[in-house]
Amino acid sequence: MLGNFSYHNATKLYFGDDSLRFLNDELPKYGKTVQLIYGGGSVKKNGIYDAVINILNANGKTVVEDAGVMPNPTADKLREGVKLARDNKVDLLLAVGGGSCCDYAKAVSVSVNCDEDPWDKYFLRFEEPDCEIIPVGCVLTMAGTGSEMNAGSVITNHDQHLKIGHVFGDEVMPKFSILNPRFTLTLPKRQMVSGIYDIFNHICEQYFSGEDDNTSDYLAEGLMKSLIHSSLIAVADPQNYEARSNIMWTATWALNTLIAMGKETDWMVHMIGQAVGAITDATHGMTLAAVSLPYYRSIMRCGLKKFVRFAKEVWQVCPDGKTDEEVAAEGLAAMEQWMRTIGVAMNLRELGVTEDMLEAIADATILLDGGYKQLTREDVVTILKESL
């Protein structure tokens, strides 16, 4: 651990199939008016909405409904949510859904008491909030993003063809999150698998950086092994509570800042994936899956030591009699085999991308420098062509 850092996580978690009742402990800490944020209706079909409403009513809360948060929430929807919160002077934003609802709630939270346009201020100019922030709580229904225990918020602007994430400070983290793995059992298989790959890639983005001997990398390997193990069980038997609970817990630890400690972190798969999402509105985890292997194969030689370690520690590749490059390539081949087994998108065409979109995707890709190779725009175009 050669870096200098401070560590604090501001979110209180309640985990397990009995966890929703702890909403009763949290609600009294906040004022009377709760903005209830949810998506396109899954929570009404599976009964989670009724269960939450009953607890809100029992606690004497006035509920302001904020339905219809779409996957990849938009800047337009954000402006609507801000108006709703302002008009009703809400005291708590309660997100009941996946990462999209949690991210949206955080974006509303920093914008209610701010006069400027939230998209311009936070997502184009990357400014920090300088106003009072409305507290956020989450009842999570999908495992993947880690948004339940981090300060990230990703918003899409279709007019500008941009999808941008802002990682805010501790003050924007959810005050509490309720993680009931049983709530994830109604997810369509494609969403479950997309979430699993999102988790895996969050770990990779932090693992594939730096050269020092770092505890964060050992934690990352443990999380990857648990995820691979549970993903195979969950894909064969989606109703397996034990596997789904491990996946949910792994998702939280994959992106709650812990395994980034002392690391530079890469995030280029996410930058390319988000650009794909900005142009296509495709499911987040699938955009990452479609570009990952061409990306990792293109940088493998620049971070060879770590890719060899990945092959040996995560995929149990035997190094005997092989060159480092062969071992590293075998690790990525094992990862590819796992991706095919769980059923993620293996190329961009599956997500509706055509050759004529590649330049626009490259234009929308933010280039970061924490990974093993600093990409140029041309490198991104090459990776996109190989991902088609």
Q: Is residue 150 within the footprint of ligand NZQ (CB under 6 A)? A: yes
Q: How far apart are CA 20 and CA 288, in angstroms?
A: 31
Strands 162-167 and 176-179: unpaired
Find the shortest distance in angstroms from Cβ 204 to ligand NZQ: 12
Of the pair 66, 198, the CB lying nearest Zn ion is at: 198
Give the nearer residue to Zn ion in terms of CB position, either 198 or 266. Answer: 198
Q: Nearer to Zn ion by C-beta: 26 or 198?
A: 198
Tell me if 74 contacts ligand NZQ by CB under 6 A. Answer: no
- Give dist(CA 254, CA 296) in Å, integer: 19
Q: Which is nearer to Zn ion, 163 or 182 (CB)?
A: 163
126-145 residues near ligand NZQ, rule: CB under 6 A? 141-142, 144-145
Q: Is 195 in the site for ligand NZQ (CB under 6 A)?
A: yes
Under 8 Å between Cβ of 96 and 36? yes
Q: How far is CA 237 from CA 24, 167, 347, in A?
A: 33, 35, 25
Residue 321 identity (one-letter amino acid): G
> 170-209: which residues touch Zn ion (CB under 5 A)?
198
Nearer to ligand NZQ, 140 or 383 (CB): 140
Q: Which of 64, 139, 154, 193 binds ligand NZQ (CB under 6 A)?
A: 154
Q: Residue 81: name its binding partner from ligand NZQ, Zn ion, none (Cβ under 5 to 8 Å by kind).
A: none
Task: Give yes or no for residue 379 binding Zn ion (CB under 5 A).
Answer: no
State the alpha helices, DSSP H only, in the chain. 23-26, 42-45, 48-58, 75-88, 99-109, 118, 189-207, 215-236, 241-254, 268-280, 284-299, 304-315, 324-342, 358-364, 377-387
148 binds Zn ion (CB under 5 A): no
In order, the DSSP letters of 242-291 are HHHHHHHHHHHHHTSSGGGTT-----HHHHHHHHHHHHH---HHHHHHHH
97 binds ligand NZQ (CB under 6 A): yes
Out of 180, 186, 230, 246, the residue judged to bind ligand NZQ by CB under 6 A: 186
256 binds, among ligand NZQ, Zn ion, none (CB under 5 to 8 A by kind): none
Q: How far apart are CA 361 and CA 277, in angstroms?
A: 9
Dig out the tokens for 246 from the structure.
């491990």
Order the strands of the 12-15 sheet from edge to edge. Answer: 12-15, 176-179, 136-140, 92-97, 33-38, 62-66
47 touching ligand NZQ, by CB under 6 A: no
Q: What is the largest CA-CA distance in the chain?
A: 69
266 touching Zn ion, by CB under 5 A:
no
CA distance to 11, 128, 148, 172, 185, per residue, from 136 (Å): 10, 17, 10, 8, 24
Residue span binding ligand NZQ (CB under 6 A) among the ranges 82-90, 148-156, 221-229, 376-384: 148-156
Identity of the residue, 7 or 320, whose beta carbon is nearer to ligand NZQ in the bound complex:
7
- Which among 166, 173, 125, 124 is positioned nearest to 148, based on CA atoms? 173
Query: Which of the listed partners (ligand NZQ, Zn ion, none) does 47 bind, with a CB threshold of 5 to 8 Å by partner kind?
Result: none
Q: What gap in Å lies between CA 109 and CA 9, rounded to an integer?
A: 18
Phi, psi angles (nearest 5°) of residue 66: -135, 85
Is 41 near ligand NZQ (CB under 6 A)? yes
Window of 21-29, 131-139, 185-193, 208-216 that interacts with ligand NZQ by CB under 6 A: 185-193
Is residue 183 a contact point for ligand NZQ (CB under 6 A)? yes
Name which position in 118, 129, 146, 303 contacts ligand NZQ (CB under 6 A).
Answer: 146
Shortest Cβ 186–Zn ion spacing (Å) = 22
Euclidean distance between the first and the last CA atom of the chain, given in angstroms as a whole number? 38
**Interface residue list for ligand NZQ (CB under 6 A):** 39-43, 46, 71-72, 97-101, 103, 141-142, 144-147, 150, 152-154, 165, 183-184, 186-187, 191, 195, 198, 255, 270, 284
Binding site residues, Zn ion, CB under 5 A: 198
